[in-house]
Structures are given as structure tokens and as C-alpha cells.
Structure 1
Amino acid sequence: MLTDTFGRRFYYLRLSITDVCNFRCNYCLPDGYQCQHNRDFLSTDEISRLMRAFAQLGTEKIRITGGEPSLRKDLPDIIAAAKQTPGIKKVAITTNGYKLPEHLPSWLDAGIDAINISIDSLDPRQFQSITGHNKLDTIMRGIDQALETSDVTIKVNSVLMRQHNAGELNQFLTWLKNKPVTLRFIELMETGDNKAFFNAQHVSASNYKTELMLGGWRPMIREKSAGPAQEFYHPDYLGKVGLIMPYSKDFCSSCNRLRISSLGKLHLCLFAEQGLDIRAFLQSDDVEPLKQQLVALLGQKAESHYLHENLTGATTQLAMLGG
């Protein structure tokens, strides 16, 4: 079992398979993707070995991220490899959903269990202003298609921004009334490239929590392989609400996830000072040395991130690790 020096156990791996993204979200890549390295992303063989090692060390859930992971044509093969890895109980993906209706059948055939989709506004004009793309209708059609044709779990991620969508809570709740999805509001996080935007747009999700509780929403019990969201349910709603508040007290105390970059670096925290290169250990089908290295490196994991001190580590923008 992967356990750090603070007693935290790691059941959950976030695996980036590319840092390329075709959206230009104003909080992440306002100028679009800028390639700053050789695009020598992890191969399917390297990814399979990596997943096998993590599974043998107790990982039960793998989330495939980007950039935008669907830009890799072999994504269905990667999903299938994760699903077929002994010990992995849940395979999820985070996507912008730009071709969700087109991609969904192959993901379902590969065995995907859960899909997280980024939707920062339900207003088509605001959505286009945030992302640079007029794709909201396509994404919503894909969500409906998934709900009608499969048992896959759907979650929607919305990054809170003071001047763009912070006033849309009621609109989102109305949408959730009859939609069996979980909507997660994520506090905007500072990265190396967005300091001015962060200072202008950051808003705490604690006000949302207060409003939800006053409206009859109640906390849900957190599963051991769940992500960082505090989730809430309401007896009159099919949908649920989650809040991800990285600036809240003790946010890191329940950390259960590790990250691998698309270039084969272990990131012990989204905001760690550096990625730890493990790619040399992915070249052999013998995963025992890789497992030993992962256990050794986990001893370097800090007790907390230092976002509250405006220290963002190596994360210049969220697309590099998929959040």
C-alpha cells in the first residue's frame, strides 16, 4: 500500500496522457496551447506498466487526464488497458467534451466507468467567452446521450470566477433538478501563469456551501477513493453538488491521489516544486523496480501544498497535469 510519512494512503492515480489542449480557457490557456518540449508522451506500453505497478501498490482508481486526453487517438486502448489491469476497480476520464457524442461509444466499449466534463457556464455566450469555443450544445447533447445509453457516472466541473460565472448557482441547480449528475464547483487556483487573473477572479466556495446548507442540501459520506470534493445531496434533486476548496483548512489532510505527467514524471502534489522522473523504470515489463522507486519517492511528499502562501511550485498552468 502506498502510504506517506503522514499516514495518508493513496488509492487514486491521476494519469496525464498529453498536455496538449484545443481549448483556450481564460484561467488556464488564454493564449492557447504553447508547446515547450518534445511531445514524446508516454506510450501505451509504458502506461500499461505504470498502471500495473500502481495497482499492485493498492491503487484502485485511475483517472485519465490531459491536456485534453481525447486528442490522443489511442485513448480507447488506454481506457481498455486500465480497465483490464488487475486491482483497478474504477476507470475515469476528465475531458472538455468537445466531441463527446462522437467519442462516447468507443469509450463505453473500452469500459469507461466515469466521465468528468468541464462546463464553466450554462450560458452559451459565456461558455464561448471562457473557453474560446462554441461547443456547449454539443457537450450537453453528449451528456444526455451518456445518461440515456449507459450506467457511466457523469460529473461536471465548473471553475468559479468572480466576473464570469459566480452568479450562476441557481441556474446550475435548476439544471440539476432532473439530471442524475454531480456538479462540482472548483475554486480558481493560482498557477505560475495566471497570478493577475487569479487575483481578479478568485472567489471562495464557502459562500456556496452556506447557501446550499440553508437550502436543505446535506453532506454525503466520502468514499476512500473519492476525489477532494465535499459532496452534498438534496431529496428533491436527482443531481448532487460538490465543492472543491483547496484554500480551506486541512484540505490536504485527506489527500489520497498521486499524479503522473504525460512525460513520465511523478508529481507528489499538483503544486509540488518539481516532477520526479520515473520514465527509465517504465522500459521493462518487470515492475518491481518501479514499485520500489515509487515507495521511496513517496517519502518526499510534503504535508500540504502552500497555495495559501502563493507558492505554486512547478505548475505553470493546469493543462500540464490535468488539475
Structure 2
Amino acid sequence: MLEDSFGRQFHYLRLSVTEACNFRCQYCLPDGYQGPSSEHFLSLGEINTLLSAFSGLGTSKVRLTGGEPTLRRDFLDILSATANTPGIKRVAMTTHGGRMAEHAASWKQAGLHQVNVSIDSLDPRQFAAITGQDKLKQVLAGLDAAVEAGLDVKVNSVLLNDFSDARLNRFLEWLKTMPVTLRFIELMETGDTTSFFKAQHQGGTPLKQTLIDAGWQPMVRRKDAGPAQEFFHPDYAGKIGLIMPYSKDFCKSCNRLRVAANGKLHLCLFSEHGIDMRHLLAEQDVVGLQQFLVECLGEKHATHFLHEGNTGATKHLAMLGG
């Protein structure tokens, strides 16, 4: 089992398979993707070695992320390889959802259990302004296809300063009949978005109190769950989650490690600049990689350094999928 010096155990791997994305979200890639090309990212063989090493050390959940992971032509092969790795019991992915209506059923068939989709507004014009793409209709159709395919669906929405009661009420009305988990995420500062963060950051605590006052009740957290505090209400088909990285003790329950598309290990989304292990992946050295991972965990800090404005290697969230 992977365990750090603070007694935290790591069952959950977030694996970025590409940094590229064809959306231009204000808080991530407002000018579009301008990073490295696909040949710089992990190959399917390297991914197989990585999965074998992590699963052998107790990893039971893997999230495939990006960028936009479906931009990889071999994404279905990566998904299938992940689902068929012994020891991996739950496979999730994060996507902008633009291709989900067409592919949700095939993803489910390949072994996907859960999909997380970013929707920052249910107003088409506002959605287009935030993402740079007028595709809300396609994304919502994708959600319907994912639910119909039997996938566990979560919707991510970033809290911004212009987040109004009207937008919240529109989401709440939608959740009355939509059986998904809607997660509101505090905006996080990255290297390229400092000015935007200062202008738009809004804490999640007031929203949490609003939900509690309206009768939303906390849910029990799964062992392999992410950092969200989740709530349910008997009058709603959907659930609500809050991810508040600036809250007290946010890192206390950390259970996940990250690997970037370039093969670097990130012990935290924001604490360091990535630890190179590409040579071990290229050599298909599973045992050597496992020893490397165990040693690296001794360097993991108790918390991130976001409160100090230290964003580590994360210039934008597409680098590591958040």
C-alpha cells in the first residue's frame, strides 16, 4: 500500500493522457491550447507499465483526464487497458462532454464506471462565454446518453464571482429530475491565471450554509472518493458536492496521486514541479517504478501551498486535469 509519512494511504490515481483541449475556458485555457504536441505524451505501453505498478501498490481507482482525454485517437484502448488491469476496481474520466453523446455507450462497454463533465452554466450564452464553445446542447445530450448507458455522472461547475442566485436556482431546478451529482468547485489559482483568480475567486462556505439551511444533508464519504463534501436532499433526484481547496484541513483526507501526460509524478497538484520517472516507464520496469513511488511518497508535504500563492508546476489546469 502506498502511504506517506503522515499516515495517508493512496488508493486513487489521476492519470493525464494529454494536455491538449479544444475548449477555451476562462479559468484554464482562455487563449486556447498552445502546449506540446502528442508525441511528448505517454504511449499506451508506458501507460500499461504505470498501471501495473500502481495497482500492485494498492491503487483501486484510476481517473483518466487531460486536457481533454478523448482527443487521443487511442483513448478507447487506454480506457480498456485501465479497466482490465488487475486490482483496478473503478475507472473514471473527466471530459468537457462534447463527444459524449456519440461515445458514452462504448466507454461504458470498455469498462468506464464514472464520468465527470464540466458545465459552468445552464444558460447557453453564458456557457459559450465561459468555455469559448457554443456546445451546451451537445454536452447536455451527452449527459443524457451517459445516464442512459448506466454511468455514474458528476457535473463540475467552477464558482466565480459572477455566480448568481439565478444560476444556482437554475441548477437546483435541473437537479430535481436529473440523477447526477453537481459539484461546485472553488476557483484555484494557477501560474497563468493569477489576475483572473484575484478578480473572480469566491469561497464555497456561504454556498454550503445556504444548502444546509435549505435541508441538504451530508453524505458518508467513500474510501476512494475525491475531495468533495457531498449532500443529498429527499426532494431532488440529483446530489450536490462542494470542493473547497482553501478550507481548513482540506488536505487531511488526501488519497490521490497524479501523473502528468509527460510522465512526471505529482505528489500534489500545487506543491512541486513534477518528478521525472519516464526512464522507468520506457524500460517497463514495474518493480523499479514501485520502489521509486514508495521512496517519493516520503517527500509528500502535509498540505498544498495555495494559501501562500505557490502554484507549483501548474500553469493551467489542463496540465494535470485539476
Q: TM-score range by the shorter chain?
A: over 0.9
CA contact (8 A) 1:261 1:267 kept: yes
Separation in structure 2 between the aligned mates of residue 283 and residue 41 of structure 1, nearest angstrom: 12
Corresponding residue for residue 297 of structure 2: 298
Separation in structure 2 between the aligned mates of residue 300 and residue 37 of structure 1, nearest angstrom: 31
Question: SS of 2:206's equivalent?
Answer: helix
Identical positions, percent: 60
Quote how far apart the aligned CAs of 1:109 are: 2.0
Listed as ranges, the gaps of 5+ residues in structure 1 are: none
Corresponding residue for residue 69 of structure 2: 69
Instruction: State yes or no: 1:130 paired with 2:130.
Output: yes
CA-to-aligned-CA distance 1:150-178 (integer Å, 9 cap, x gap)? 22100000011112567511111110111
Corresponding residue for residue 153 of structure 1: 152
Q: Give the direction of change, closer, same or farther, for the CA distance of 1:103–1:227 in structure 2 (3 Å limit).
A: same
Corresponding residue for residue 244 of structure 1: 243
Letter in 1 for 2:196: F
Separation in structure 1 between the aligned mates of residue 165 and residue 197 of structure 2, nearest angstrom: 14
TM-score, normalised relative to structure 1: 0.97
Q: Give the direction of change, closer, same or farther, for the CA distance of 1:36–1:135 in structure 2 (3 Å limit).
A: same
Corresponding residue for residue 176 of structure 2: 177
Separation in structure 2 between the aligned mates of residue 307 and residue 167 of structure 1, nearest angstrom: 30
TM-score, normalised relative to structure 2: 0.98
Letter in 1 for 2:56: Q
CA contact (8 A) 1:8 1:256 kept: yes
Instruction: State yes or no: 1:200 paired with 2:182.
Output: no
Q: Give the direction of change, closer, same or farther, for the CA distance of 1:298–1:208 in structure 2 (3 Å limit).
A: same
Quote how far apart the aligned CAs of 1:283 are: 2.3
Separation in structure 2 between the aligned mates of residue 83 and residue 289 of structure 1, nearest angstrom: 23
CA-to-aligned-CA distance 1:171-227 (integer Å, 9 cap, x gap)? 111101111100000000001111111011000111110010001000000011000
CA contact (8 A) 2:12 2:256 kept: yes
Q: Give the direction of change, closer, same or farther, for the CA distance of 1:165–1:108 in structure 2 (3 Å limit).
A: farther
CA contact (8 A) 2:271 2:310 kept: no
CA contact (8 A) 2:100 2:146 kept: no
Question: SS of 1:304's equivalent?
Answer: coil
Corresponding residue for residue 32 of structure 1: 32
Corresponding residue for residue 187 of structure 1: 186
Separation in structure 2 between the aligned mates of residue 79 and residue 166 of structure 1, nearest angstrom: 38
CA-to-aligned-CA distance 1:13-44 (integer Å, 9 cap, x gap)? 00000000101000111101112577411011
Corresponding residue for residue 79 of structure 1: 79
Separation in structure 2 between the aligned mates of residue 35 and residue 83 of structure 1, nearest angstrom: 29
Corresponding residue for residue 103 of structure 1: 103
CA-to-aligned-CA distance 1:53-72 (integer Å, 9 cap, x gap)? 10110101000000000000
Question: SS of 2:40's equivalent?
Answer: coil
Question: SS of 1:155's equivalent?
Answer: strand
Separation in structure 2 between the aligned mates of residue 157 and residue 94 of structure 1, nearest angstrom: 9
Separation in structure 1 between the aligned mates of residue 165 and residue 157 of structure 2, nearest angstrom: 10
Corresponding residue for residue 266 of structure 1: 265
Q: Figure out how many residues of one structure are paired with residues of the other and give that number.
A: 322
Corresponding residue for residue 119 of structure 2: 119
CA contact (8 A) 1:126 1:164 kept: no
Separation in structure 1 between the aligned mates of residue 187 and residue 19 of structure 2, nearest angstrom: 19
Quote how far apart the aligned CAs of 1:313 are: 1.1
CA RMSD of superposed structures (Å)? 1.2
Corresponding residue for residue 2 of structure 1: 2
Q: Give the direction of change, closer, same or farther, for the CA distance of 1:89–1:38 in structure 2 (3 Å limit).
A: closer
Corresponding residue for residue 234 of structure 1: 233
Letter in 2 for 1:116: N
CA-to-aligned-CA distance 1:254-291 (integer Å, 9 cap, x gap)? 00000000010000000022100011111234411110
Separation in structure 1 between the aligned mates of residue 218 and residue 172 of structure 2, nearest angstrom: 16
Quote how far apart the aligned CAs of 1:108 are: 1.8
Separation in structure 2 between the aligned mates of residue 296 and residue 230 of structure 1, nearest angstrom: 31
Separation in structure 2 between the aligned mates of residue 77 and residue 321 of structure 1, nearest angstrom: 20
Letter in 2 for 1:224: K
CA contact (8 A) 1:121 1:165 kept: no
The 5 Å alignment of 1:205-216 reads 205-216=204-215
CA contact (8 A) 2:98 2:142 kept: no
